[in-house]
Amino acid sequence: MVPTDRTALSRRLDGARTHAAGVADAIGARGAFLATCCVLLVVFYYPVGTVLVAAFTRGGDPSLAPLWATLTDPFYFGALAGALADPASVPGAIAEWAEAGFPAVRTGLFGFTAFLALLGTAGAVAVGLPGAYVLARYEFPGRETVRSLTVVPFVLPAIMVAVGFTTMFGTNGALNDVLGLVGLSVDVAFGLPIVVAALTFYNAPLVTRFVVAATETVDVRAVETARTLGAPRWRAVVDVVVPQVLPSFLAGVLIVFVFDFMAFPIVLALGGLRLATVEVWIYSLASDLRIPEAASLAVLEAAITLALTYVYLRVERRGGRDTATASVPRVPLLGPPSAGRLLALAYACIALVLYVGPLASMVAESLTRGGSLSAANYAFLLAQQLGSGGARPTVAVSNSLLFAVGAVALAVPMGVSVAVVTGGEGRLRRLSGALLMAPLAVSGVVTGIGLLRGLVFGVDLFGYHLAVTGPVAIVAAHAVGGYPFVVRNVAPLLARVEDDLVAAARTLGAGPAQAFRDVTLPLVAPGVVAGAAFAFAISVGEFNATIVLARDGASYTMPIALERYLSNPSVGPYLGPAAAMGTVLLVVTAASFVVVERLGGRWER
């Protein structure tokens, strides 16, 4: 009887230790999660909340007047503003529109933004679909490398893309150098065509990625069944493949439209206020400290983009994510001439001009001076002043790297703690995870404005005035923008960690921290490193919040310095140094891309 009692007592003690260990684990994870929530409350939710509240207050009192003033302003909503201000005028306005022709109707800032987004989306579809066809249909050396390059929108800073397009298609760009050999020239610099081309460059790979991923879920047996029943190849594609691919294609189109609608660095650098979109105008208003008006625009823009994002999520869910047991086989690209292979060749030529051309032109421009090879542009980065702002280019480079290191130091523990606590099943976990992904849905410009008004200008708390310097706010903004991607990279690996392994380590006497360090962390380390590389790349290329917070040359980063070069009236003489700095930025982001791809990181937003 005594041994039995001892065995029962031992089991109870083991159970108590296991329960205590679980409590300690929960307290440790929740403590880190609570610390992350506090950081987000200070550097994201509160600052953004103060901006949005400004849209619903006047003179300190709740009011819809600022929002209504924006809705009824023809500058923002064109003819729709008149209809909102006076509904009785709608019939007469319709009659006037019918006589003048609907194209003559003034659409306002929101209408132009939607028009530009529509053009950019059309360009992305026109370029992305042929690319998806080539990748889905043909097998060729380097196919996986080409497919990996469809993550371009997530890697390359938009302002660097603007520099590349300026060196390629600008007045003194590579295209005019080639056309000049036959006495021709084109002038598309800082106009609508170059903005649309840059948006196409940035988002066409998204269409390709969505469609290629969808084709890999098409079951070849369904196609073979249709062929067996007598359907020609084109009919089998239309009846079997297209319905299965269509939801993913529509999801890709929707998300590209949202990205184009919120485009900021490319439009600001290549179009300026002449081609101002809603996002650019929000920045302009914030620069003039017209915060209520900027906040009203931000609220209306967020309402539109969130509605479109909701539709995107619904459409994407319809597309499914299952992998087919037998996918449609690919055929060798090298073979007898055919319509498909000719399309692949034509697409390769377009891709060389659209994708390789701007980046190659930027690198070539950085290595030339006066038509000959020279390192003078890089020497400029080491010795001279920026044309505007008074900061040395070396300061911008060092700031970018230092800010990125600081952002990673914050983003990684934040992302890991959120992934640990919000992982698993349960409505509360899913809701918490969705709320904590809010930085992905909020404009970086709005985040920057909130941080500027809150942390930088300072707040009064318990009789003390609390404020931080601009660089601290910049690092906070970069960390907030990067940590969701740490979550996306770590969470899938955490879900695969077997609970028995952690329990075994705890049974052997390991504490919560030691079990996490010795068991869990090695298993999720690739995701942590990939998330850190992603956060580093996001920080180095971040522009939207930084341009609001970088109030002087001492806090400029590489993207801000690039924009200053391009916005300088004497852009010609400064194009070489801008290309040199853009090349440095390209090397840094490309290195981050290699790290994430090698570790199988997740790039989806």
Q: What is the pLDDT of residues 305-338, one digit of tens each?
A: 888 877 876 776 666 555 555 556 677 877 787 7
How many other CB atoms are there within 10 angstroms of residue 303's CB atom? 10
pLDDT of residue 403 exceeding 90:
yes
Question: What mean pLDDT do residues 345-356 have?
Answer: 84
Long-range contacts of 302-307 (CB under 8 A, 24+ apart): 302/441, 302/442, 302/443, 302/446, 304/110, 304/261, 305/258, 305/261, 305/262, 305/441, 306/441
Cα dihedral value 587, 590, 591, 592, nearest 10: 130
Measured CA to CA, the distance from residue 475 to residue 409 in angstroms comes to 10
Predicted confidence at residue 546, as pLDDT, reads 92
Question: Is 474 within 8 Å of 550 (Cβ atoms)?
Answer: yes
pLDDT of residue 187 exceeding 80:
no
Q: Give residue 391's pLDDT band: very low, low, confident or very high (50, 70, 90).
A: low
pLDDT of residue 154 exceeding 60:
yes
Measured CA to CA, the distance from residue 319 to residue 218 in angstroms comes to 11
Residues 155, 399, 563, CA angle at the centre, nearest 5°?
60
Predicted confidence at residue 20, as pLDDT, reads 43
pLDDT greater at residue 239 or residue 124:
124
Question: What mean pLDDT do residues 519-532 have?
Answer: 79
Measured CA to CA, the distance from residue 233 to residue 224 in angstroms comes to 10
Predicted confidence at residue 478, as pLDDT, reads 93
Stretch (H or E) spanning 278: helix 278-287
Phi first, then psi, for residue 569 (nearest 5°) are -55, -30
Spatial neighbors of 138 by CB under 8 A, at least 6 apart, are 330, 331, 332, 333, 340, 341, 344
Predicted confidence at residue 26, as pLDDT, reads 45
Q: Give residue 21's pLDDT band: very low, low, confident or very high (50, 70, 90).
A: very low
Predicted confidence at residue 530, as pLDDT, reads 83
Question: Is 592 within 8 Å of 540 (Cβ atoms)?
Answer: yes
pLDDT of residue 8 exceeding 70:
no
Predicted confidence at residue 196, as pLDDT, reads 92
Average pLDDT of every residue of the chain: 77
Residues 197, 201, 202, CA angle at the centre, nearest 5°?
120
Question: Is 576 within 8 Å of 375 (Cβ atoms)?
Answer: no
Extract the tokens encoding 172.
């003194």
Question: What mean pLDDT do residues 113-124 have?
Answer: 93
Q: Give residue 133's pLDDT band: very low, low, confident or very high (50, 70, 90).
A: confident
Predicted confidence at residue 386, as pLDDT, reads 47
Question: What mean pLDDT do residues 499-520 have?
Answer: 62
Measured CA to CA, the distance from residue 305 to residue 381 in angstroms comes to 39
Question: What mean pLDDT do residues 340-359 have?
Answer: 84
119-123, 403-407, 512-516, 581-585: least confident range: 512-516
Q: Give residue 126's pLDDT band: very low, low, confident or very high (50, 70, 90).
A: very high
Predicted confidence at residue 5, as pLDDT, reads 56
Q: Give residue 222's pLDDT band: very low, low, confident or very high (50, 70, 90).
A: confident
Question: What mean pLDDT do residues 56-73 have?
Answer: 82
Q: Give residue 166's pLDDT band: very low, low, confident or very high (50, 70, 90).
A: confident
Q: What is the CA 537 to chain-centroid distance, rounded?
A: 11
Extract the tokens encoding 576.
């070489």
Predicted confidence at residue 18, as pLDDT, reads 46
Question: Is 213 within 8 Å of 222 (Cβ atoms)?
Answer: no
Q: Are strands 331-332 and 138-139 parallel, antiparallel or unpaired?
A: parallel
Predicted confidence at residue 388, as pLDDT, reads 44
pLDDT greater at residue 572 or residue 542:
542
Measured CA to CA, the distance from residue 277 to residue 7 in angstroms comes to 74
Predicted confidence at residue 195, as pLDDT, reads 92
pLDDT greater at residue 516 or residue 210:
210
Q: Quote the DSSP letter at residue 552.
A: S
The fraction of the chain above a pLDDT of 90, given in percent, is 10
pLDDT of residue 101 exceeding 50:
no
Output the pTM of the full model: 0.79
How many other CB atoms are there within 10 angstroms of residue 18's CB atom? 13
Q: What is the pLDDT of residues 234-252, one digit of tens each?
A: 677 777 777 878 888 888 8
Measured CA to CA, the distance from residue 348 to residue 350 in angstroms comes to 5
pLDDT greater at residue 141 or residue 383:
141
Q: Give residue 371's pLDDT band: very low, low, confident or very high (50, 70, 90).
A: confident
pLDDT of residue 253 exceeding 70:
yes
Q: Give residue 16's pLDDT band: very low, low, confident or very high (50, 70, 90).
A: very low
Q: Give residue 186's pLDDT band: very low, low, confident or very high (50, 70, 90).
A: confident
Predicted confidence at residue 402, as pLDDT, reads 93
Rounded alpha-carbon distances, angstroms, from residue 72 to 52, 83, 165, 545: 19, 8, 37, 28
CB-neighbour burial class of residue 459 (10 A; exposed 0-12, middle 13-18, buried 19+): middle
What's the one-letter identity of residue 123? Answer: G
Q: What is the pLDDT of residues 188-216, one digit of tens each?
A: 777 888 899 999 998 998 888 888 887 77
pLDDT of residue 223 exceeding 80:
no
Q: What is the pLDDT of residues 594-604, one digit of tens each?
A: 776 676 655 45
Measured CA to CA, the distance from residue 543 to residue 364 in angstroms comes to 24
Measured CA to CA, the distance from residue 578 to residue 272 in angstroms comes to 17
pLDDT of residue 289 exceeding 50:
yes
Predicted confidence at residue 274, as pLDDT, reads 82
Predicted confidence at residue 22, as pLDDT, reads 46
Question: Is 560 within 8 Å of 396 (Cβ atoms)?
Answer: yes
107-116, 356-365, 368-377, 385-394: least confident range: 385-394
Measured CA to CA, the distance from residue 539 to residue 16 in angstroms comes to 45
pLDDT of residue 418 exceeding 80:
yes
By three-state DSSP, how is residue 72 classified? coil
CA atoms within 13 A on the CB side of 490: 30
Spatial neighbors of 136 by CB under 8 A, at least 6 apart, are 211, 212, 215, 216, 328, 330
pLDDT greater at residue 393 or residue 133:
133
Q: Give residue 88's pLDDT band: very low, low, confident or very high (50, 70, 90).
A: low
* Dihedral-angle region of residue 237 (phi above 0 means left; psi in -120 to 50 means alpha; beta otherwise): alpha
Partners of residue 587 on adjacent β-strands = none
What's the one-letter identity of residue 122? Answer: A
Tokens 């950081």, located at residue: 39
* Dihedral-angle region of residue 78 (phi above 0 means left; psi in -120 to 50 means alpha; beta otherwise): left
Extract the tokens encoding 292.
């209520």
Spatial neighbors of 508 by CB under 8 A, at least 6 apart, are none
Predicted confidence at residue 505, as pLDDT, reads 61
The fraction of the chain above a pLDDT of 70, given in percent, is 75
Tokens 């028009």, located at residue: 115
